[in-house]
Each structure stands twice: as C-alpha cells, then as structure tokens.
Structure 1
Amino acid sequence: MTPAEVEAALRDACLAELRALKPGNVHVHAPGQEALLRDFAHSAEVSAAALCAGPGGVGARALRAVEATRRSVGHNTNLGIVLLAAPLAEAALDPGGGPLRERLRRVLARLDRTDAALAFRAIVLAAPAGLGAAPEHDVRDEPSVTLLEAMRAAASRDRNAAQYASGFADVFGLGVPRLRGLPDPWAATGAFLGFLAAGPDSHVLRKHGAATAEAVRRRASALDAAIQAEGGDPRVREAELRRFDRLLRRAHLNPGTCADLTVASLFADRLLKGDTASVSHSGVFLL
C-alpha cells in the first residue's frame, strides 16, 4: 500500500469508530457532543496525514501525529489511537513484504531507544487524563530501554501497551474477527463491547480505580454475552446499549482504551483487506 492509501485507511477507521454506538465513549448517537465530535473528526484528518507522511519510524510517526493534533484542536483526542496506529502503519509501509502480522512483528522487534524517546515526547505533549508517574520508564525521563521494552513493562496496567508486547494479539484475535459479518457501524460496536467485556478498561482504571473498572467490565460482559447468545448482532440489544451508555455518561466513565483498540481493529482490518476502493478519500464527516 502507498502512504496515501494507508492514510486514507486510518482516517476512515477513525471516522467509522465515531459513528458506532460505544457506551460511555464519544459517538454521534450521544446528545450534546457536536463540538467534541468535530474535534475528533478533525484530529482524524490531520493526524492520519502526519502519521503516514514523512520519514518512517514508529516514534517519529507518533510524535508527528500528536503534534498535528495539538496544533489543530489544542487538546488530546487521539493519543491511544496514534500509539496503536503508528506500528500498524509502519508495517503496512514496510517494503520487506509478507503478511501484515509478519511485517508488524519485524517492526516491533526493531523498535529502539529513539522510538522510545520520540513516543515519550508524544505522550507528554498529549498530556492524557490520569497520566501519573510510572514506577519505571516514566515518560518524562530519558528512556534507558527500547520502546518495546517500555511497553512490555507497562503491559500489565495498560492494554494499549500490551498490544506491543503481544504482537497486537487482542486487535487481531478479538477486534478484527468481531468486524466480520456485520454492517458498519454495528460491527465496531461489537468490537468495542468485546474489548470492554474482556478486561478492565485502562482509562477507567487509571481515573476511577480497579473496583469501578471491574464493575464496568462485568456489566459489559453480561450484555455482550446476551448479544453473542442471540447471534452476535448488537442491534438486537440496542435499547440496552443505549441505557448502558447513559449510565456510564452520568458517572463520567469513559472506556477510552477500548475505543482506541476498536480504531486499531478497524485500521488493521482495512490493511488486511487491502480494499482501498472502499476507503473514503473525501474527508467528509457528517454529524
């Protein structure tokens, strides 16, 4: 794939995720989010272009995308997405050939301290909510390890970091399969709910603690189990999904990491298919 095709696939994945009903997260079905949705849509445009253009390298791609987002909207809308998309884009543009997951393994294996330093700068610049001091490899310090080693150290407390450590096992093993056989945007809803049911959301965990994160997971797991028992189409439980959405919003509980993983799954699915004809190049996003 060309850089332009990868950029279009990433932009399309970001916009498709915004159209999906994702309890507690940003989406077009929730009232009063028009301004935030515009920021997320604009971030998708500028960050996809910055991430896929210019010199390669996972850390360099991530930092360019965060800088473009900060210049455009002035706050963090997509750090988790960027950190997951950068290695996937690097793999898609790898000239070495082979299946996407094989190229991704090569990309992850060659991550170095320069990638870590640039990714750390991106994280500090984005200033995500709930960012505290890490027990080791704090992003405010000069890295003493590679980006892969830093992500492995954080994997137990951050599901996005765990993707680096596992070769994006959750994205390819849970997210992508959930996207097959369902129409957009309900396929993305199914992937999001699957991630939320599979484990505590890292964003909720950081901001609200383990007990709250586990309570959200259990509620999602029960709903997901009911949907899967009825054939796996989230539309059969749309009313319950909307009630769950309202409940999480009232409690200010946003499963943002599961949304990041959903975008990564949408992006990976588009890269796997190589179906650039289905990717929107218009950049038009209708609220």
Structure 2
Amino acid sequence: MIPLAPGLIATLYRAACLAELDALKPGNVHAYAPGHRMAVADFVASADASAPALARAGAGVGARVRDGVAATRAAVGQNTNLGILLLCAPQAAAAEAGATVADTLAGLGPDDSEAVFAAIRLASPGGLGGADRHDVAGPAPASLRAAMAEAAPRDRIARAYVTAFADIAQIGLPALAAARALGLDPAWCASAVHLAYLRAVPDSHVARKHGAEAAEALRREAETRLAGLDLAARPVAPLMALDADLKARGINPGTSADFTVATLFWDALAAAGAGLG
C-alpha cells in the first residue's frame, strides 16, 4: 500500500459520487429521474462542495465528515450526503495515511466523536428519532465506535464502523467485479452494485423513515422484481417501473445509494494503490 495525495483522493471521491448518479438506482435520485424533492444537480453540487473537506490533508475522520456536511449545507441547503461522508471519510483518511480502514477506525478518538455528532445534528437526517443512549441531541460520547456499535443492529452505516466495512467487501465489491466480468459499462456496473445492496440487506434509511418491517419488505420485493434481470440488456423499462413505484410510495433506499458511492470510492482508491482492507 502507498499513501495517496489529498488531491487525488478528492478527485476519486468526486468521481465516485458522479458515477453513482449516472446509475439507474430504483427509488433514488439518478440521471434518469429526480425524486424526493431532489435532483441530480443537488448531488453534483454536494460532491463539488464536500470534496475539499473530505480530502483535507491531515484531517481526522470526524472533521472530514463535519466539514463536508457544513460545506454541503452551504451549497445546497439540505442533507444530501451525510451517509456518503460517514462511509468515505475513514477511507480517505486511511488512503492518505497509507493505512487500513480497520486501523483508522481503531484510532478514532473523542474529537472524532464530537465532530461526527455535530455533523449529524447539522445534517438533520430524516427519521433519525431519538435513542436511549448516545442520542445525537445530547453530548457526544468519548468513543464514537461505542456509539456506532450500539446503533449497528439498526443501521448499516453504523455497523460499518464496527465491522471495518464488511458490507463493502462482502456485497459491493463482489457485485462490482461480477458486473465488470460481464462487460457492463461503468454506469451499469454502478447499478449492479446498488441492486446488490438493495437485495441483500434491509435499507437503513427506509427503516428509519418507515420501520424495519417496511425495509425488509422492500428487500424481498427487490429480490422478487429483479430476479433474472439481465443488466447486460440495459433493462431500463423494468427498473424505471420499480423506480416510479417506490417514489410514489415515498420510499427512498438512500443507504443502498450511499454504499454504492462508498464501494466505487473504495475500488478507485485500491486501484490507485491504497491498501484499505
């Protein structure tokens, strides 16, 4: 593994964000359709605004998240990328240091906890609600990983912080490799990654907004409706039908989209020489 320059990290982060937007991702915002009162332009602006903070030289994980959220709020006035930043900041810090993500997460300190809790309060993600312990409305705990461990059973992004991003290794990267083996172009490879997450695990954003049962129901629905789908045939019509159906029901599988960006970012950093895992 080799340390990567902050400028390269910023470039690869922005590219991953834009590549995810090119993908047809049912229920999310993408190049084929807007949704949930957001458009592709909001996410492009968010990527541009947050990239410098995400890749700032020497910054801690928490500071990258907090400052990225603040820059995004200033640019677009809403939360478009809290999940993306939470997943990409440890990767960026690890890539700059020439370290693994696991070692980077193990080195998180109180400053990271303070900064991440501040970022969450600033972003005000939908459906967050309250918690008996480590509520973001209260003081940040000394250990960010302890807070993430408590939230892990109900939130895949929190779970990533205690599993060293196992979902990327077990779901995202294999789906990306399989799509490339089929000769799919980058946009359809990104679609394949998103659909893999959608089918494999209940989406945390859906669970926060609509409940755990609704998230599991969406996962089963995706399994059924996407069974046998040949992405090499560019199946726009059936995916757009699912997209319209989900948006009409107010269902936004945002965590699956966040993990798609994070998977593309991980792959790009690894290709550049980072040894993240």
Return the TM-score normalized by structure 1: 0.87
- Listed one character per residue, the Cα deviations across residues 2-59 of structure 1 (whole Å, up to 9, x for unaligned) are 0000000000000110110000000010167896211110100110112112442100
| 1:227-253 Cα shifts (integer Å, max 9, x gaps) | 3xx5xx364543221111111011110
Contact 2:199–2:223 (Cα < 8 Å) also in 1: yes
SS of the aligned residue for 1:156 comes to: helix
The residue that corresponds to 2:89 in the other structure is 86
Q: 1:275, 1:249 → 2: CA distance?
A: 39
Aligned partners of 1:7 and 1:52 also within 8 Å: yes
What is the rounded CA distance, in whole Å, between the counterparts of 2:102 and 2:26 in structure 1?
32
Q: In structure 2, what is the Cα distance between the partners aligned to 1:188 and 1:156?
A: 26
* Structure 1 residues 152 and 244: CA distance shift in structure 2, 3 A: same
Q: For residue 41 of structure 1, what is the aligned residue in structure 2?
A: 44
Are residue 142 (structure 1) and residue 139 (structure 2) matched? yes
Note if contact 1:204-1:253 (Cα within 8 Å) is conserved in structure 2: yes
Q: State the alpha-carbon separation in 2 of the partners of residues 156 and 234 from structure 1.
A: 35
Which position in structure 1 is the counterpart of 2:245? 247
State the distance in 2 between where 1:46 and 1:159 align.
25
CA distance in 1, matches of 2:210, 2:263: 26
Task: Check whether the contact 1:114–1:146 (CA below 8 A) recurs between aligned residues.
Answer: no
Contact kept, 8 Å, 1:189 with 1:234, in 2: the verdict is no
Q: 1:257 and 2:260 equivalent? A: no
Q: Give the aligned partner of residue 197 of structure 1.
A: 199
Measured in 1, the distance between the counterparts of 2:267 and 2:273 equals 9
**Is 2:124 the partner of 1:122?**
no
8 A Cα contact 1:52 1:89, kept in partner: yes
1:217 equivalent in structure 2: 219
> Equivalent pairs: percent with the same residue?
47
Residues in 2 aligned to 1:126 and 1:261: alpha-carbon distance in whole angstroms: 18
Conserved? CA contact 2:14–2:51, under 8 Å: yes
Trace 1:1-287 onto structure 2 (pairs within 5 A).
1-30=4-33, 36-95=39-98, 103-180=100-177, 181=180, 182-227=184-229, 233=231, 235=233, 237-274=235-272
Q: Secondary structure at the match of 1:132?
A: coil
CA distance in 2, matches of 1:246, 1:8: 32
Residue identity in the other structure for 2:264 = L
Q: How many residues align?
A: 266
Give the root-mean-square deviation of aligned CA atoms: 1.9
SS in 1 for 2:228: helix
**Aligned counterparts of 1:117 and 1:143: Cα–Cα separation in 2:** 5
Contact 1:66 1:125 in 2 (8 A): yes
8 Å contact 1:194–1:224 — kept in the other structure? no
- C-alpha distance in structure 1 between counterparts of 2:36 and 2:245, whole Å: 16
Judge conservation of contact 1:10–1:48 (CA < 8 Å) in 2: yes
Greater mean deviation of Cα atoms: 255-264 or 267-276 = 267-276
| Inter-partner Cα distance in structure 2 for 1:49 and 1:122 | 16
* Structure 2: distance between partners of 1:234 and 1:223: 17
- Separation of aligned partners in 2, 1:41 and 1:66: 14
Instruction: Between 12-21 and 31-40, report the one with greater CA deviation.
Output: 31-40
* TM-score calculated relative to the size of structure 2: 0.91
8 A Cα contact 2:27 2:35, kept in partner: no
